[in-house]
Structure 1
Amino acid sequence: MGFAICALFFLRFWRTTRDHLFLGFALAFFLLGVGQALLGLSIVPEEERSFLYLFRLVAFVIIIVSIWRKNGETGRG
């Protein structure tokens, strides 16, 4: 639930600023929330849950790419 609140928080900032950094963070927190919800609600044995951690991997890649793009924009301007 906390990840969903963070996603909505960053989505609100994206709507006012149209800064892609906030959109990336909102998407990443949404994916983290989905991953945690699936992890908590799944009845899959622990040995077979490793595919659920791909949500975390994708979320962290989105955060890294968003920060990288934002730093590239400020360097050019």
Structure 2
Amino acid sequence: MSVPITPVEGLIAGALAAGFLIAGLFFLKFWRRTRDRLFLAFAAAFGLLAVGNALPVLLGTPHEERGGIYLFRLAAFVLIIVAVLGKNLRPRT
């Protein structure tokens, strides 16, 4: 039995997606100012998190069938980890 998305869950998911997009836009603004790749990676990661939150609501995916959508979160967190490691392991000039 699949459980549909309730209106409250849709509202919360939309608010989270909007918050992730706003955070991504802030990081994009910082990247434009500094051209630091870390900010660009954070902007992309927050964009992926926003897509990961909005996609189940937009597609009407039941709770049981959201396994593939979590790959967006995984990609976002891997992107953040790689960016932080790249920033800290890079030789300073």
TM-score, normalised to structure 1's length? 0.92
Bigger Rg over Cα:
2
* Residue 68 (str. 1) matches residue 88 (str. 2): no
Number of positions where the alignment pairs a residue of Structure 1 with one of Structure 2: 75
Deviation string, structure 1 residues 39-67 (Cα, Å, up to 9, x no partner): 23332222111100000000000000000
Partner Cα separation in structure 1 for residue 75 and residue 63 of structure 2: 21
Structure 1 segments unaligned to the other structure (5+ residues):
none
Structure 2 segments unaligned to the other structure (5+ residues):
1-17
* Residue 31 (str. 1) matches residue 21 (str. 2): no
Range 40-49 or range 64-73, more displaced:
40-49
Match of 1:22 in 2: 39
Question: Where in structure 1 do 4 or more consecutive aligned residues deviate above 6 Å?
Answer: none
Percent sequence identity over aligned pairs: 59
Q: Which has the higher helix share?
A: 1
TM-score, normalised to structure 2's length? 0.77
Note the aligned Cα RMSD (angstroms).
0.9
Amino acid at match of 1:11: L
Partner Cα separation in structure 2 for residue 45 and residue 4 of structure 1: 24
Partner Cα separation in structure 1 for residue 44 and residue 73 of structure 2: 12
SS at match of 2:60: coil
* Residue 51 (str. 1) matches residue 68 (str. 2): yes
